Chains A and B, each alone.
Chain A
């Protein structure tokens, strides 16, 4: 549902059905709503059989990359004699994204159940839920629910009386966007600086503590109990008839200049135009929407017209020149300066670069400097080409894709809103430059 709003009739409530319902936060309340049946079923299944159901459902990672979840799980060799780990990625720091927060705040047991099933399915006895340090309330809700689940023997050394061990711990982050990148996250759990690691080796071979590891997003894991309860076919049906590659429901976080910001859950393939205007209430009174960043700040910016032609699934977003990403949909209207907002995004990436790679460390800083100069009215005609050149040298050349993510809004923004940059350069219209960020 579009919490804090009432659910819209065109939403399909699976993950968000109990948002806003405080009773669902307790173990009893969760069980009353059908909770932990899937875990009970899962613990009686062969782990590989669970992997297969998830594979069959078509579930893909909701953290941004959209990697098929069942396939990822199948890389974990059950019975290889090594400890395995599951990391649940609750770092949620991609600007525009705030869905995992609501899952943890309202339905902590939904996540525990998903994590427990995921851990068992990959042969892990220990799972860590990595929650960003700023999420004080979600951390408290998760800790409370975990304590309840442990006390009731749902998880722990004898999970649901099956003799199987499933330990789940919260690991609290300490302020670093980059720790959402899976290998940086593992370093952060290990008590290190959150620098991404060079791959290979991939986490399934040598991940957390050097052991086979799977990393999944909160929303991905929260979807798993529903798939086990209702079957892969039920999940697969929630898709476009002509596109079996994107299945299920997706939580979209909608923010910025929109009438009703919030989280909305729709089936894959929902028409984007209807979503924006009907479900989210469209533009603010008297304003017009001009740009959309549909998948969190790292995906290409599109115009309203492009968005209106789009459908909301992985392929649908690609066909209008952008990506589904984390489905953190940022809406920008005509009252905003695109150069100023793109400069602000560049500053975000410059602040968050872990500084290991030269292209990223220098490129994000240089990009920010030029953009802020343009916004301040001191830009030159050459600046725009320089920005594109820097972007080019920042793309596809670094340990992780944070570097690419900084170049993306700049190149797509310049492509679609070049006139706004040129106007600043030729007419010297000055906008307030973002101030210092600590």
Chain B
């Protein structure tokens, strides 16, 4: 089943630097609201702007919180429960805060036969995360395995937040991490 990193599969993201208790400040004001209205105008229904709106929310806040979903729901005239149903379908929306650098390593077969599992081990080791899906104690890193990133000829591709890196090997992991401190 398609599920976020927080769902089944054994790995649970620890909310290490969450903002759960802070009052919610709306995202869609000023320019953000204008941008959302532009997006809505691209589609014949308001609901169709849901995925783009969730992206804007996540880009602004780092994750998709319940109050964030409620804000999107009210703007797009749909229910919060409906929004949650959509959010939980797609793996890229974070339903919990994640490390400052969210590291995704592809381990599907084409990369797997090129040694992707060793790249994962190197990241877990060098970030201090130790375990998949667990944010490092300093809040800097979260490492997960992902399914095919669509760059199989450049094994092993790794995403750090929205940066897409190619041809990463265990040897180059320390250099990668130097850039993301």
- Chain A interfacial positions (CB closer than 8 Å to B): 83, 92-98, 100-101, 132-137, 167, 169, 171-178, 188-194, 209, 253-257, 261-263, 297, 328, 330, 332-333, 336, 340-341, 344-345, 348, 351-355, 361, 432, 434-438
Contact = CB atoms under 8 A, between A and B. Distances in A.
B152 A344 contact: no
Interface stretch (B19-27, B105-113, B171-179): B105-113
Contacts of B150: 92-93, 97-98, 100-101, 132, 134-135
B110 A171 contact: no
B16 interface: no
B90 A176 contact: yes
B60 interface: no
B120 A435 contact: yes
Contacts, number: 194
11 contacts: A83-B44, A132-B150, A136-B162, A169-B42, A191-B51, A297-B109, A330-B110, A332-B109, A352-B2, A361-B1, A438-B145
B30 interface: no
Interface of B: 1-2, 4-5, 9-11, 42-45, 47-52, 54-55, 76, 78, 85-86, 89-93, 104, 107-110, 112-114, 117, 120, 132-133, 144-155, 159, 162-164
Nearest to B121: A435
A191 B86 contact: yes
A97 B149 CA distance: 9
A167 B43 CA distance: 11
B117 A191 contact: no
The 8 closest A-B pairs by CB, nearest first: A191-B50, A175-B92, A174-B90, A175-B91, A438-B5, A255-B152, A438-B144, A261-B153
Given A193-B86, A256-B113, A188 B148 contact: no
A95 B132 contact: no
B11 A438 contact: yes
B108 A348 contact: yes
Contacts of A193: 85-86, 89
Contacts of A173: 51, 90, 92
Nearest to A132: B150
B107 A437 contact: yes
B107 A434 contact: yes
Contacts of A177: 147-148
A327 to B, nearest CB: 12
Given A171-B52, A190-B45, A190-B47, A98 B152 contact: yes
Q: Which of B44, B104, B113 has the largest number of chain A CB atoms within 10 A?
A: B113
Contacts of B107: 344, 434-435, 437
A256 B112 CA distance: 8
B36 to A, nearest CB: 13
A174 B2 CA distance: 11
A419 B139 CA distance: 47
Contacts of A172: 51-52, 55
B80 to A, nearest CB: 14
